[in-house]
Amino acid sequence: MKQWKSQNEDIEKEKNIFDIHNDEDELDYEATLKRRLAGPSVLKSGQESVDQERINEIIYEASKGSKYFEAEQKRDLELRMRIERVRQEVKEYYRKLEHNNAFQKEWAERTDQIDTYMQELQSCRDLSQVIVHVDCDAFYASVEELRNEKLKNIPMAVGKGVLCTANYMARKFGVRSAMPEFIAKKLCPELVVLPLDIPEYAVKSKEIQNLLLEYDQNLCPASIDEVYMNLTPYMNRNKLNKDEDTMQQVIMEIRNKVLKITGVSISCGIAANKLLAKIASNMKKPNDQYLVPIEAEVIEKFMSKLPTRRINGIGRVLEQELLGLDIETCGDILNNRTLLSYIFREKTFQNLIQCSLGIGSTIVQDFGDSYRKSIGCEITFSNAIASGGLLESKLQALCQSLAESLSKRDLIANSISVKIKTDTFQVHTRQKNLREYIFNDTDLFCEALRLLRMEYPLRIRLLGVRASKLTNKASYIASRIKFSKQNSVSCPVCRIDLKDDLAVVNQHIDLCLNTETVKKVIDNEKKEIPLKRKRNTIDAFFRH
């Protein structure tokens, strides 16, 4: 609690300093808030014909006065202040650059270093692959349209409370994903909003993926409505030339096939790597395709004109921070590389440079659930709930569904976190590493409750619980099985000898397992067997 307060005090202090500014700043500040409230998907397709200024004004007026508005206002102010501080920093660098010889030298050396780094990157540029990014157009909405033809001709969106997606008819009104329903209705009173039916969308998604499998057996779903493919093996197999026309033709064929068979229109990006393919699929949405020629010079020229926000990973905040330095495009990033190296952390800086050169990964591989880092669930209440029995019963329910998700995937967790959002939209998490792995609802609830109660008194609009440091239950158990005799193993729980057959062992352990005994076994064995094993080792164990 202490940290949050002191942080706020700092902000209050700075705010006072910033109150002494002129009208121009005041206007500017309102404009950025309006842009912020407009949401993150302003750049999405279907907005071309929209009067964005007018829409933003309506959203702003509809939001005004709410607690959400105040929270956003505060966040916007914090960002403005951060940007202003950086601008001062920049001024100082440029002043030093004019008068300070030592600094001039340092700056020049750093520029050389960066240039060497960039040359290295360029020399490793992989232009041997044809990568495709497939993106379904207004996916949830188009699945709903398939179920009910009439929806095609009326503005429609899918979601509850907050919209997940809107059809193109609705987008003409400025209706977008992540927009609250009540604002969407203000922009378009006749908007039809349908409830989500994720299982149905998942079926359609699989249908599409199955069609695409013909073109790449290793295709990698990036989300329910997005897939990356490596088209190279397909092209080679069919002895197809990798010239632009042929590639465009293959993609055209894929798009036609998907539309004809599944009824869903898709947009595709064709390029040398995933970064470029993703940008490309967004260039001509909906129901179209775009190819970035697989040539270093063309790629660099393409990137230099590209607004920074087009890069996957550069969002509203980083975009604003860069704009604060008069950086609008990836070309600007490269031209200001030395300055940026002073301002951003190593990792952020390197990422900016790499992206701006159009360099990205060409690895298209689906790791499925095996590298999952965390799993959780959260819920927003219709009215904020105060500390007490009701809140705790909500936590219990969340832990129950978390336990289900864990067991569905055969996972156990070594760390747990509780997330809360106050009625003033401040988010906090409390996390704890555990002494043992847990997975059932009782244990999850017990640990989560402890974390939650430490924060009392509370009044919150959202509660969440998340399990992390995951490992596979069967693998974990197997890792502690002792091979007592040839062709036989002993159960780690009850020690009985079992046939060395994975199915037999698993079945027995499932029967044998209950939390108390697992705890005992783990405690007893802690000293003898290292707790953490690399997942790879365990997986390798099972392959043999």
CB contact at 8 A, 431 and 413: no
Among 33, 59, 353, 458, the residue binding DNA under the rule CB under 7 A is 59
Residues in 508-527 that interact with DNA by CB under 7 A: none
Residues with Cβ within 8 Å of 23's Cβ and at least 6 positions away in sequence, in order, are none
Residue 163 pairs with which residues in a beta bridge? 159
Among 33, 37, 151, 385, the residue binding DNA under the rule CB under 7 A is 37
Tokens read off for 127 = 């232009």
Residues in 438-467 that interact with DNA by CB under 7 A: 461-462, 464, 466
Stretch that binds DNA, among 26-34, 327-335, 344-352, 483-491 (CB under 7 A): 344-352
Residue 3 or 487: the one with the smaller Cβ distance to DNA is 3
Site pattern 296..335 for DNA (x: CB under 7 A): ---------------xxxxxxxxx----------------
Tell whether residue 405 is a contact of DNA (CB under 7 A). yes
Among 48, 245, 346, 528, the residue binding DNA under the rule CB under 7 A is 346
Residues with Cβ within 8 Å of 94's Cβ and at least 6 positions away in sequence, in order, are none
DSSP secondary structure string for all residues of 222-279: EETTEEEEE-HHHHHHTT---SHHHHHHHHHHHHHHHHHHH---EEEEEESSHHHHHH
Residues in 156-175 that interact with DNA by CB under 7 A: 161-162, 164
Tell whether residue 376 is a contact of DNA (CB under 7 A). yes
Cβ-based neighbour number of residue 366 at 10 Å: 13
Pairing of strands 162-166, 266-271: unpaired
Tell whether residue 77 is a contact of DNA (CB under 7 A). no
Q: Collapsing DSSP states into helix, strand and coil, what is residue 164?
A: strand
Stretch that binds DNA, among 355-363, 425-433, 440-448, 488-496 (CB under 7 A): 425-433
| CA separation for the pair 152, 543 (Å, rounded) | 50
Tell whether residue 125 is a contact of DNA (CB under 7 A). no
Tell whether residue 534 is a contact of DNA (CB under 7 A). no
Dihedral, CA of residue 535, residue 540, residue 541 and residue 543, to nearest 10 = 130
Stretch that binds DNA, among 36-44, 121-129, 333-341, 495-503 (CB under 7 A): 36-44
| CA separation for the pair 291, 245 (Å, rounded) | 10
E-strand ranges in 387-445 read: 411-422, 427-438
Task: Report the nearest approach of DNA to the CB of residue 401 (Å).
Answer: 7
Residues in 213-252 that interact with DNA by CB under 7 A: 222-226
Tell whether residue 110 is a contact of DNA (CB under 7 A). no
Q: Which residues bind DNA (CB under 7 A)?
A: 3-4, 7, 37, 39-40, 59, 62-63, 65-69, 75, 79, 161-162, 164, 177-180, 182-183, 222-226, 278, 311-319, 345-348, 351, 371-380, 405, 415, 417, 426-433, 461-462, 464, 466
